[in-house]
């Protein structure tokens, strides 16, 4: 009963926030190269409007403090999906290796499911960092008891721009991961439920 409830929470929060997560991932991966885009499109050391727009969208959804609070709520939603997903994913003894790998010679549905599960595991630490820093940006007062010496390095990790080009490239690729999780999760729902409902409605429409 508890597992079914957790599954429903994980499923519907994922479906409800999927487009938001995808948009945040795409914009976040793009602005990892903020400095490079500035140099490429504006050698006179200005910042092109589209780069500023991307950064403002990622930071606060173009909505100032309100958008920042929405991002904070989004981070809490991702944290909820992270916890419920981890509980649902937790493998039985002897199945750990299978739970963190992806097999090539399986059906498309099985591949999608294994990709979702394995990607969620390997991105766990990174998603925790992004969630915690997003919460810090939205609700800084809640972190007032934490030393700036502890917070500052983690905040720099969120953007990935302070550690060289190789880390930037890695961060941009990894930053797309939660968006891929949203897509694979939606496909799992479609294969599990949506496809059957659509086929049923199509059959009824054909009969009538």
Q: Tell me the average pLDDT across 121-128.
A: 96
C-alpha–C-alpha distance, residues 25 and 20, integer Å:
9
How many Cα atoms are found within 13 Å in the side-chain-facing hemisphere of 81? 27
% of the chain with per-residue pLDDT over 70: 93
pLDDT of residue 132: 93
Which of these, 61, 44, 45, lies nearest to 53 by C-alpha position? 61
3-state secondary structure at position 192: helix
With respect to residue 208, please indicate whether it lies within any of the assigned structural domains. Answer: no
Does residue 58 form part of some domain?
A: yes
Residue 147 placed within a domain = yes
Number of domains in the chain: 1
Q: Which helix (H) or strand (E) holds 87?
A: helix 64-89
- Answer with the residue of higher pLDDT: 11 or 104: 11
199 falls within a domain: yes
Lowest mean pLDDT among 34-43, 137-146, 177-186: 137-146
pLDDT in tens, 23-67: 999 999 999 999 999 999 998 889 999 999 999 999 999 999 999
C-beta atoms surrounding 185 within 10 Å: 23
- Among 63-72, 111-120, 193-202, the minimum mean pLDDT is found in 193-202
178 is in which domain, residue-wise?
A: 2-92+100-203
Model confidence, pTM: 0.88
Burial level of 167, CB count in 10 A (0-12/13-18/19+)?
Answer: middle
Who wins on pLDDT, 151 or 12? 12
d(Cα 137, Cα 68) in Å, to the nearest integer?
A: 8
Give 123's DSSP letter.
T
Residues 178, 78 contacting (CB under 8 angstroms): yes
């Amino acid at each position: 009963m508890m597992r079914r409830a957790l599954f429903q929470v994980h499923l519907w929060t994922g479906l409800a926030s999927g487009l938001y997560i995808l948009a945040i991932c795409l914009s976040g991966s793009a602005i990892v190269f903020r400095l490079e885009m500035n140099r490429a499109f504006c050698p006179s050391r200005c910042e092109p409007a589209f780069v500023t727009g991307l950064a403002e969208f990622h930071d606060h959804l173009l909505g100032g403090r309100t958008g920042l609070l929405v991002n904070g709520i989004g981070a809490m939603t991702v944290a909820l999906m992270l916890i419920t997903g981890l509980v649902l994913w937790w493998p039985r003894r002897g199945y750990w290796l299978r739970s963190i790998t992806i097999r090539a010679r399986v059906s498309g549905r099985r591949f999608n499911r294994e990709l979702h599960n394995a990607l969620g595991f390997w991105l766990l630490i990174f998603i925790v960092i992004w969630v915690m820093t997003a919460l810090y940006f939205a609700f800084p007062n809640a972190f007032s008891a934490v030393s700036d010496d502890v917070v500052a390095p983690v905040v720099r990790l969120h953007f990935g721009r302070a550690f060289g080009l190789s880390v930037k490239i890695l961060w941009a690729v990894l930053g797309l991961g939660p968006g891929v999780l949203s897509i694979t999760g939606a496909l799992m729902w479609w294969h599990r439920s949506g496809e059957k409902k659509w086929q049923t409605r199509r059959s009824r429409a054909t009969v009538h």
